[in-house]
Amino acid sequence: MTPATATKPTYGPLTRTAHWLALALQDWRTTEGERWIYVGKTLIAAFCALWLAYRLGLDSPSTAMTTTIILALPSSGMVLEKSFYRLCGTLLGCTAALTLIGLFPQQPVLLFAGLALWVGLCTSGSALHRNAQSYVYVLAGYTACMIVLPAIEQPMQVFALAVTRVAEVGLGIICSAAVSSVLLPRHQGTQVMRTVQARYGKFLSFCQDVLQQKLTPAQVELTHLQFAADVAALELGRSAALFEVTSKVSHVRAQNRKLHAFNATFMTALTTFYTFHRLFDRLQRDDETQVMQACAPLYAIVAEALQTTPSQDSLDTMQQHLQTALAQARADIDGAPIAHAQRIDFDTVCELLERFARDMSRFHEVYFSLAHDTPLEVSTPQAYAPKTPPALVIASGARAGISLALLALGAYFLAWPYASTAMLMAAVFCALASSSPRPILMIRQVLAGFLIAMPLSLVCVYFVLVHGDGFPMLVLSFAPFLAVGLYLMTNPAKLGVGLGVSTFITQMAPTNLMHVDGAAFLNTGMALIVGLMLAALVFAVLLPEHTMGHKDHIGRALWREALHACTAPARRVKHRFDNRVRDLLSQLNAAAGPAPGEATRAVVRQALTLLEIGHSVIELRELIATARPGATRHALQQCVDHIAAWLRTRGDTALQAALAATLQAGAVVRAAQNEAGVTPERSARLQTALADLHSIYTSLLDHMAPGAGDHHAA
């Protein structure tokens, strides 16, 4: 039989069916299957915790079950991280409760005042940190409430309540950690590396689209906003991966420095690219044909290098070609009758292109080392540091403390036996929602879940569970209803609703000695719902504008960070400035929702302008620190001082003074550059200073009316 006449092997119907089923199963496993695996693992952890709580004779088995729902997260690293901080917060809250009861036994007014102060401080701590560690503060606050309130009338029982609370929460933690780590684990270390690869690809695509002019200004601004959120998300994922104990997490631990460097080099490259793009866009608007023609070959070299996924060799080649093209372009400009103002634009474009090529090369070097686990020398890691505006930190604590004091006094003097349950639920969600950019929406979703869960729980307990006998029948009775809430939790848009359904149903789990009481069921359900309504009312009435990520607070904080870049000690000021600005933009992105409006975009534009000014000022300060005393150093210092004065006052007079100081500094630097005997190294540093001064000057003019100044004067 010749190859021409050979026939392909044929498969029978059973083989084809098996192959089709295997492909369908694989596709289901990576899509809908992930959601049902999450539901199944959470149900196993919840019922294991409930069974153990029954066997150990704990007072409130539902607490252990509810803990597993709260710890139900997509990856084992996230579960272990939250478990650790939940245990720490529980222990800290129990200690605070024992201290308060010991200080103010049978003195409800003083006890409520101390409790309100403690909850306010804990809520402020949670708002200040805004990372996984913030959960310690949240738990420490409302755990103290859960122990103190039942112990008001019986202070001698407070120690037993604290021990029981720790045992129940600890049992839920153990079950969640064990199931998530052993049963079909989803490792956070793997997710971190996927995030790194996705970020690198997204940044390349963004650069390509901008260079090809495919994006509108609004799309560019929103992409910068999303990049800021990506920086924060990678840091959260990295910290969660460190809690895993696997070979994959050891890889993440070993690359911890590189992950910090990846974020840092990404932010540097992104800022340089934005500065270059803004200048190039301005040249197009001003129709500077000669400069555009001279820069076209340089622009083409960078664009060509980013067309496909670059390698380190291709980026090195790009830098070599760019240096050759720069020399040729400078020779052409020197021989052309070009205005002095346009020469400044050309020199600035050249400086920014060289800077972006270096930044992009370093960013790719870090990425390649992460993706292929190759050695890379990284300096002392500079971690991403979240920053919350002080006004929001204080407002969060004040809101939580005041609301708790008022609700506690109301519950104490009301005759309704379940008022304390409502008050406790309100206090819990006042603390939890303080770190949310949209607290009322969060509470509304959980409230919707409670309203859905109440009739489901009624059917589960009074029409299904009462006909069963033994733990297996209890599992069969609860599992279908609980699965509804857990499945909703797999959808990010309905996470709050699913959490409300799941936690409400687990609260209805029977105690060791089952007692069916319809009146207690209705009262408990009403108390939980009323508590959530009170929490929403608190956020609507008490300091409603002081929520996480509010554009007004973010805008003011951005100005403060730019001022800090001018006045703070020089050590690590660049890294701190980058981190803080990106973190503020991340908060703004979370508060803006899926469709940011024009007001949000205006804050983004302001942030990018201040970021550009801040970076240029920091580089001028580095030059000042190493320059010898003289006219150049004095002029640059005067420029930085006047910019700081403008950032402090934001007045027109200070703005005019900053513009004048920038012009004066530019003239002095150019004079120093033309002096005889200037070394090539000093000339290059002075040229960098001129590019920074030009960037500062044009950014300052953005705050004035169009036509208020010459964009080339610096």
Whole-model pTM? Answer: 0.85
In the prediction, which pLDDT does 11 show?
A: 63
Sign of CA dihedral 134, 434, 83, 163: positive
In the prediction, which pLDDT does 189 show?
A: 82
Contacts 24+ apart (CB under 8 A), 507-511: 507/62, 507/66, 508/62, 508/457, 508/460, 508/461, 509/50, 509/61, 509/62, 509/65, 509/478, 510/61, 510/461, 510/465, 510/474, 511/59, 511/60, 511/61, 511/62
Cα distances (Å, whole numbers) of residue 42 to 368, 395, 487: 37, 36, 10
Q: Is 345 left (phi over 0), alpha (psi -120 to 50) or beta?
A: alpha
Looking at 306-339, list the stretches that DSSP marks H as alpha helix, in order from N- to C-terminal side.
312-334
d(C-alpha 320, C-alpha 304), whole Å? 14
In the prediction, which pLDDT does 100 show?
A: 93
- Residue 224 burial class via C-beta count within 10 angstroms: exposed 0-12, middle 13-18, buried 19 and up: buried
- Looking at residue 423, its amino acid is M
Q: How many CB atoms lie within 10 A of CB 427?
A: 30
Please answer whether residues 538 and 426 qualify as being in contact, where contact means their C-beta atoms are separated by less than 8 angstroms: yes
Which domains are assigned to the chain? 32-186+387-541 (no CATH), 188-243+256-372 (1.20.58), 551-701 (no CATH)
Instruction: Give 265-319 pLDDT, tens digit per residue.
Output: 898 899 889 888 888 888 877 776 777 888 888 888 888 888 777 888 888 888 8
Q: What is the dihedral of CA 287, 293, 299, 300, to 10 degrees?
A: 130
Residues 6+ apart with CB under 8 A from 77: 187, 188, 189, 237, 240, 241, 242, 243, 244, 249
d(C-alpha 297, C-alpha 66), whole Å? 63
Task: For residue 625, give both structure tokens.
Answer: 């620190």
d(C-alpha 675, C-alpha 631), whole Å? 13
Sign of CA dihedral 65, 66, 69, 75: negative
Instruction: Give 204-246 pLDDT, tens digit per residue.
Output: 999 988 888 888 888 888 899 899 889 888 888 888 888 876 6
Please answer whether residues 404 and 123 qualify as being in contact, where contact means their C-beta atoms are separated by less than 8 angstroms: no
Percent of the chain whose predicted confidence (pLDDT) is above 90: 34
First vs last C-alpha separation in the chain:
82
In the prediction, which pLDDT does 707 show?
A: 36
pLDDT along the chain (714 residues), means of 10: 50 73 73 88 96 92 94 91 93 94 85 91 87 87 88 84 93 95 87 90 91 86 90 86 68 73 89 86 76 82 82 84 85 77 82 89 90 77 72 90 83 77 86 86 94 93 87 92 94 92 90 79 90 91 85 91 90 84 89 84 90 91 87 92 93 91 90 78 85 88 50 43
In the prediction, which pLDDT does 382 show?
A: 64
Report the candidate in 555, 664, 654 with the shortest Cα–Cα distance to residue 610: 555
Looking at 568-597, list the stretches that DSSP marks H as alpha helix, in order from N- to C-terminal side.
573-592
Report the candidate in 263, 215, 216 with the shortest Cα–Cα distance to residue 236: 263
In the prediction, which pLDDT does 312 show?
A: 81
In the prediction, which pLDDT does 154 show?
A: 79
